[in-house]
Structure 1
Amino acid sequence: MRYLRAVLFQLHWLLGLGAGLVLAVAGVTGALLSYEDAIGEAFDADLIRVASHSEDRLAPDALLARFLAQRPDTVASLTIAAEPGTAAMVRLGRDSATGQRPPSLYLDPHDGTVRGAARTEEVFATIRRLHRWLLLPGDGKGWGRTLTGASLVALLVLLCTGLYLRWPKVMSLRIWLKPHLRQWGRPTYWSLHSVAGTWVLPVYIVIALSGLWWSYDGYREAVTAFLTGGETITRMADGKPPAGQEIKPPARKAMPEADRGTRPAGRKEEGLGSSGAPSLDTAWAAFRAADAGRFTRATLLLPAGFGGPVRIRSENRNGWRDDTRIEAATGRILVREVGGERPLGVRIAGNMLDVHSGRIFGVLGPPIFLVAALLMPLFLITGLLLYIGRRAAKARRRADSIMPAGPATPALGRRA
């Protein structure tokens, strides 16, 4: 037992020193990303709030036509808010030369006037690349993804070994949960390291297991199959799978909605409102009738090849996301997924970003996950201090063991 404890102790500090910096960076950047929308809304408040108009808000087709008359850009998506006095937003396609996406633009929903560009998108795009790929070359196909994935595996091992190493002989909530900060030094560092680790352990387990979703394709496929029980996530409006569709776990090779990275240059995108694009007004009217005023904002996405249905992703007042696919010409609803009505496993698989950030756990989830993420550097700092203190103590013991003993000190005393 003592040998096992010694091995786990060595493994714990080796992994902590090796992966600690990556985890600390991921924790701080993840905390910022979890409040990206709130931070963006605070910086762009003057662009988002629109003065009251006497005229009604424009329908999607008219809004896009007004925008394209001002700027002939490629529009990848159009976001419309339910609250009056709130600007619409167009997300632009990527530049064909660089593969980069310009910042999104706010539009006056009454006349389509461009109010300005989102001020924080480029900053958060960099933070996201740092969080997921450490800003290393290759992005999702480079060493950055490998390092962050390995660090998440290391985090799980650190949690398990740390729990074993601090398991007390006497069970007490005071021992488990109360830090002892009276004597500054190694005892305090150890108390902060172990007690804070116990408090955030469940959160870190969720963060690690959900973070691996973007690190390893095989892991994502296995977890999807486990959570959904082999069912497809997409269902028809009546709850049945589309005719002729095979019931199997959905292929999710591409990154989910959180993926806002770069795309190879040279690929030209066709946009909403462009020549040949389907009309959105009929689909929008059908969505409004089916939604019955539950959405807070809805995003209309480009149909695949202009021949597929219009896809509308909406956020509900209850915090869930809905997904609706509507035939553009007729307004017939082909797929209507209401987030809160799906099985729990399907909801988790379809909203892994919300699991990773804590939003899926309700109002208290995001702030709890925020605090836990910001504590990541604490474990790196206290772990380093404990390591340095332990090495210094060993050096002192080694020096004491080789110090010569004899009558030298008494002799000096007699001469004095």
Structure 2
Amino acid sequence: MYAPQSTPASPDGDVIAERRTLWRWHFYAGLFVMPLLIVLAITGTLYCFQPQIEPMLYRDRMIVADTHGPRLSQDALLAKAIAAEPRDAKPTLAQIETDRTRSAEFVFRLRSGESESVYINPYDGTVLGTLSVEHRLMKQIRNLHRGLMLGKTGELLMELAGCWTLVMIGTGIALWWPWGGKNRRASGVWLPRVSLKGRAWWRDLHAVGGAWLAIGALFFVLSGLPWSGSWGKQFKALATTASLGYPKGAWGEAHVHSTAPGNASQEGGEHAMHAMHGNDPAMKLDDLPLHQTPWAVGATAVPSSADSAAASRVSLDDVVALAAKQGVADDYGIALPASPTGVYTVSSFPADPRDERTLHIDQYSGRVLSDISYGSYGAVAQAISYGTSLHMGRYFGMANQIVCSAISLGLAALSVTGFVMWLKRRPSRKLGAPSRPAKRPPMRAWRSGLALVGIAFPLMGMTMLAVWCLDRITFGRQSGAQAQA
């Protein structure tokens, strides 16, 4: 991985020992992170351009000619989609867009358990084709990005990769830091020295590139971890419980964050609402068949409609009109009721986090049971919403996509340069880890920092302890060893 740059003529022994220790931690972090970082960088870049890639790949199904005529109603389009699907297929989602060149999309749950999108021409009702939700390209890329398509095991690996990237960034910046003080020039610190040859040139390229990309890499890690499968879920639950995420009890047609009507306490109000609507407290928004949901509301409970056999269901067009009245007009999903006590759930996940909105609507009366907007979020959830939009390259449009891609591909390039440096210094048939310094440096600040990281991310803490033990058992102490930089 990274090799420390040359030190002053008569360096202090503690400085040499500290730098070599940092180098060892940087090496071990990079050894684990490199292949996963390349996967994250490539898949992240591709997924960042999903809005451009999918309409190009599936143009025959997603794109239609604007006839400048009237569009069919949502209920008529849904009826066309139902007629095109097998009899036992259940409609689960309507995707609403006002772009007149986009087809209407409805998602169905098939008997096999998989989901399928049906695309309809909104002007004449022609069925344009279908597309598997689970097997479409961008879904596969997203699964690779989040968990290598290995389920829970892959999610844990990617979470660990993010955590170890924090160690790699911290130790890398410490090794890059111009220890020579004012005598150091911009070349070799802010610009690579092109006059160098061999491994020294690769080292300069790696060190300088890492310094420029450090802030972007840190942002990617911190904005991505809240979505991770293990730590992210626990953090979301903690933030929700502490009212740092979504505050409980946003009931009613207005932005009300108190009890259900007629109840004296929030807790009593929630139980009353469950009893009134037959709500299953285990049903969360993340369980609904929506393409994407805002982070802040994923762990919130989904209310239920009052089971009324005599009442007719509110039409899909009425739900669209109600959503527009509430300020949700374009590019959102409507999860359809799956049972007599189910609700319509309107979920808007736009590029600007301030426009995020979630509505739960009684399927019989059309009454808004829950209305959650960005203003309902706690401080942590609001920050994560902004981080997510920037992370996905959505907030500033194409400019955001280009910046995210440059950072991602730059991190992939750092992995390549680190690998080349390792090959050039690695002895034959040996790991080539930097030797342990003969003198153990105090490094109290670093030890405290790593301990805090291990506490904040327990899975990371366990692997750090495992690496430390394995290193001491396998390699032992090599006193006085000095590797060539």
CA contact 2:245–2:378 (8 Å) conserved in 1: no
CA contact 2:62–2:119 (8 Å) conserved in 1: yes
One-letter amino acid matched to 1:156:
L
Residues 46 and 184 from structure 1, CA distance in 2 versus in 1: closer, same or farther, beyond 3 angstroms?
farther
Q: Report the counterpart of residue 288 of structure 1 in structure 2.
A: 324
Q: How big is each residue's C-alpha offset from its partner over 1:70-107, in whole Å with a ceiling of 9 and x where there is no partner?
A: 323322211121122421111222x443x3333x2221
Provide the rounded CA distance (Å) in 1 between the counterparts of 2:256 and 2:56.
42
Q: Report the counterpart of residue 409 of structure 1 in structure 2.
A: none
TM-aligned CA deviation for residue 233 of structure 1: 8.9
Query: What secondary structure sits across from 2:408 in the alignment?
Result: helix
CA contact 1:228–1:349 (8 Å) conserved in 2: no
Q: How big is each residue's C-alpha offset from its partner over 1:27-52, in whole Å with a ceiling of 9 and x where there is no partner?
A: 11121122223200122334333234
TM-score under structure 1 length normalisation? 0.76
Residues 82 and 315 from structure 1, CA distance in 2 versus in 1: closer, same or farther, beyond 3 angstroms?
farther
TM-aligned CA deviation for residue 277 of structure 1: 6.3
Provide the rounded CA distance (Å) in 2 between the counterparts of 1:63 and 1:392.
66
One-letter amino acid matched to 1:388:
L
Provide the rounded CA distance (Å) in 1 between the counterparts of 2:235 and 2:158.
14
CA contact 1:299–1:312 (8 Å) conserved in 2: yes
The alignment-based identity, stated in percent, is: 24
CA contact 1:296–1:315 (8 Å) conserved in 2: no
Query: What secondary structure sits across from 2:129 in the alignment?
Result: strand
Query: What secondary structure sits across from 1:111 in the alignment?
Result: coil
TM-aligned CA deviation for residue 212 of structure 1: 2.4
Q: Report the counterpart of residue 269 of structure 1 in structure 2.
A: none
Corresponding position: 1:369 with 2:404: yes
Aligned residues: 369
Query: What secondary structure sits across from 2:331 in the alignment?
Result: strand
1:153 equivalent among 163, 177, 188 = 163
CA contact 1:322–1:337 (8 Å) conserved in 2: yes
Q: Report the counterpart of residue 279 of structure 1 in structure 2.
A: 315
One-letter amino acid matched to 1:307:
T
* Correspondences of 1:42-81 after superposition (within 5 Å): 42-53=56-67, 56-72=70-86, 73-81=89-97
Q: Report the counterpart of residue 23 of structure 2 in structure 1.
A: 9
TM-aligned CA deviation for residue 338 of structure 1: 4.1
Query: What secondary structure sits across from 1:183 in the alignment?
Result: coil
Q: How big is each residue's C-alpha offset from its partner over 1:361-388, in whole Å with a ceiling of 9 and x where there is no partner?
A: 6653332122211223212221122222
* Correspondences of 1:251-262 after superposition (within 5 Å): 254=286
Residues 173 and 215 from structure 1, CA distance in 2 versus in 1: closer, same or farther, beyond 3 angstroms?
farther
Structure 1 unaligned regions, length at least 5 = 261-275, 396-416
Residues 241 and 392 from structure 1, CA distance in 2 versus in 1: closer, same or farther, beyond 3 angstroms?
same
Q: Report the counterpart of residue 255 of structure 2 in structure 1.
A: 239
1:310 equivalent among 299, 319, 344 = 344
Provide the rounded CA distance (Å) in 2 between the counterparts of 1:317 and 1:144.
28
Residues 289 and 210 from structure 1, CA distance in 2 versus in 1: closer, same or farther, beyond 3 angstroms?
same
One-letter amino acid matched to 2:38:
A
Residues 178 and 208 from structure 1, CA distance in 2 versus in 1: closer, same or farther, beyond 3 angstroms?
same
Residues 338 and 158 from structure 1, CA distance in 2 versus in 1: closer, same or farther, beyond 3 angstroms?
same
Runs of 4+ in 1 over 6 A off after TM superposition: 250-253, 255-260
Structure 2 unaligned regions, length at least 5 = 1-13, 261-265, 271-281, 294-311, 431-485
Provide the rounded CA distance (Å) in 1 between the counterparts of 2:49 and 2:250.
28
Q: CA RMSD in A?
A: 3.6
Q: How big is each residue's C-alpha offset from its partner over 1:110-159, in whole Å with a ceiling of 9 and x where there is no partner?
A: 333211234995222332232222233xx13xx21221111111101101
Provide the rounded CA distance (Å) in 2 between the counterparts of 1:295 and 1:31.
29
Provide the rounded CA distance (Å) in 2 between the counterparts of 1:203 and 1:225.
30
Residues 210 and 70 from structure 1, CA distance in 2 versus in 1: closer, same or farther, beyond 3 angstroms?
same
Residues 309 and 76 from structure 1, CA distance in 2 versus in 1: closer, same or farther, beyond 3 angstroms?
closer
Query: What secondary structure sits across from 1:323 in the alignment?
Result: strand
* Correspondences of 1:258-273 after superposition (within 5 Å): none
Indicate the larger mover: 2-11 or 175-184: 175-184
2:331 equivalent among 289, 292, 297 = 297
Query: What secondary structure sits across from 2:330 in the alignment?
Result: strand
Query: What secondary structure sits across from 1:305 in the alignment?
Result: coil
One-letter amino acid matched to 1:60:
Q
Residues 126 and 195 from structure 1, CA distance in 2 versus in 1: closer, same or farther, beyond 3 angstroms?
same
Provide the rounded CA distance (Å) in 2 between the counterparts of 1:127 and 1:365.
19
Provide the rounded CA distance (Å) in 1 between the counterparts of 2:136 and 2:30.
32
2:146 equivalent among 132, 137, 156 = 132
